[in-house]
Amino acid sequence: MNKTELVESVSDSSHLSKKDVQAVLDGFLATIGDSLKKGEKVALVGFGTFETVKKEARTGRNPRTGEALEIPARTVPKFSAGKSLREAIDLAVGSGES
């Protein structure tokens, strides 16, 4: 499912206009992004937690040439699914639902 399909699905299930759902979704994503940029954790109980993780600098290899190269340290976003989401997916996938 892409963003357009998500907006359409939420619009259908909530009886809100696609324009309103799009505005809420854009605001939701911007707020999460802004919080992560500040180093804050965003926890949605039952769904999951968005946070940032620091990756240390390391030496890697160019897969084409095999040449060693330095990969700089960086901060990356991470999502950890909550218990309710994990259980719901496990039940759906385990029972053969799609």
- What integer pLDDT is reported at residue 97 of this predicted model? 58
- What integer pLDDT is reported at residue 43 of this predicted model? 97
CB 8 within 8 A of CB 19: no
Give the span between the Cα atoms of 73 and 75, in whole angstroms.
7
- What integer pLDDT is reported at residue 93 of this predicted model? 82
Task: Classify each residue of 63-81 as buried b or exposed e, where b means 16 or more C-beta atoms within 10 Å of its C-beta.
Answer: eeeeeeeeeeeeeeeeeee
Give the span between the Cα atoms of 23 and 29, in whole angstroms.
10
- What integer pLDDT is reported at residue 81 of this predicted model? 96
Mean pLDDT per 10-residue section of the chain, whose length is 98 residues? 97 96 97 97 96 96 94 97 94 70
